[in-house]
Amino acid sequence: MSEHVEELNPGRPTEPRPAASVILLRRGGRHGSPGIEVLLGKRTPDASFMANAWVFPGGALDSVSAGRGPEDRDYRAAALRELEEEVSVALGDTDELVPFSRWITPVEVKVRFDTRFYLAIAPPHCSPRPDEQEIVEVSWFAPSEALDRHGAGEMLLVFPTIKQLEALGEFGSADEALAAARSREVEPIMPKVAVVEGEPRILLPGDPGYEEATPATPA
């Protein structure tokens, strides 16, 4: 499986920006077949960060009230805002968002985010549309289809998107995925970019060599 590593940071670690994304689910597969589909949007080729990558709708939080850090409600509000702005899908309220995962960009990478991902069911008969600024194309994919197309070089996926598609592919339906997400605690995941056999590779907590990994730094 190919891995997309963003620009590495030669200096002190960058503070990750709080961000939020929505993994929008659609019940059933194409033509009424059982399964699960997710909405992905293709980022503009003009983007300075993750250009041409297919991602879940999302973005950084706006500023929060002085004297406090971002709270759950701030993440949820940002997730709903980005979903509507980027792909023209509006959800009723933040209670429709179910926490699914939290990914923190490795310290070795220059542009870093601390992103909370939420699952949500797409409203009936919604028609997602790209904003033609940040997102230039949208489509529904079965998780396995998106992963296969990435493996064939037909679409670009970044590491957290790949891992979450792999996780969602274990569920037989959107309702099953939501039930599982509601029943577990979300723990933050921070990969490492390490030098393995002379090449930068992404390691996850629990992977062999994660604790002893040599940081990957530019030459």
Strands (E), the chain: 17-27, 36-43, 54-55, 58-60, 98-104, 113-121, 135-141, 188-189, 192-196, 199-203
If DSSP codes are grouped into helix, strand and coil, which group holds residue 29?
Answer: coil
Residue 64 and residue 87: Cα distance in Å, rounded? 24
AA identity, residue 164: Q
Of 26, 185, 14, which Cα lies nearest the Cα of 109? 14
DSSP code of 95? G
Which pLDDT does position 31 carry in this prediction?
46
Structure tokens at 47: 């983007």
For the entire predicted model, the pTM comes to 0.88
Residue 72 and residue 95: Cα distance in Å, rounded? 11
Residue 102 and residue 134: Cα distance in Å, rounded? 22
AA identity, residue 74: D
Which pLDDT does position 20 carry in this prediction?
97
- Give the Cα-Cα-Cα angle 40, 44, 50 (nearest 5 degrees): 75
Residue 111 and residue 126: Cα distance in Å, rounded? 33
User: Can you give the pLDDT of all 219 residues of the chain as single tens digits?
Assistant: 334 545 666 667 788 999 999 999 998 655 455 689 999 999 999 988 889 999 999 999 986 655 577 899 999 999 999 999 999 999 989 999 999 999 999 888 888 899 999 999 999 889 999 999 999 999 999 999 999 999 999 999 999 999 999 999 999 999 999 999 999 999 999 998 877 677 778 889 988 878 876 555 443
Q: Evaluate whether 196 touches 181 at the Cβ level (below 8 Å).
A: no
